Amino acid sequence: MSIIDTLSVYNSVIIKRHPIYTYSEWKDKTFRYEGTVKNVKDHYKNMGAKHWGKDKNVYIGFMKPDAYHNLLLQGSKIFCIIHGASLNCYITTISKDKNNMIEKLEVAIFDEESYSPFPITYRISVDNIESMLITEKAYTIQQI
């Protein structure tokens, strides 16, 4: 059984780098972030083959915003606050300064049922991020 299958909203977790995977964009590759499960969603395993079914995905809200500055990449799926509502989004544009701090963050609403080649984008700040998708493929997840 996967740790993902045991998690539910409000569980506390620690996120670390998966021993096999790393991204060159991560400035801190030895991170250890504490967070809370904020959202649980089912997403298709493969959008082109929906008959393969769905996977359970957990979105973690981190205690310190440093986690978002380090971990977020273009294409990352997040929950963010847009016009006062918590929406499932993905990052379309992310720009960081030399200190790895996010300067520009644009997102589009993530909708598995429809695809828009020209999505409407919204500019948000790191403060508007509620949680980000964390998978066992890229991270080690430990329940506290």
H or E segment and range at residue 62: strand 54-62
Specify the DSSP class assigned to residue 100: S
pLDDT per residue over 56-108, tens digit each? 889 999 999 899 999 999 999 999 999 999 999 999 999 999 888 899 999 99
Q: Residue 29 is encoded by which pair of tokens?
A: 């590759």
pLDDT given at position 99:
86
Q: Which of 109, 101, 99 is nearest to 127 (CA)?
A: 101
What's the N-to-C CA distance of the chain in angstroms? 17
H, E, C per residue of 29-42: CCCEEEEEEEEEEE
d(CA 21, CA 41): 24
Specify the DSSP class assigned to residue 109: E
pLDDT given at position 51:
86
Cα three-residue angle 108-112-113, rounded to 5 degrees: 115
pLDDT per residue over 84-98, tens digit each? 999 999 999 999 998
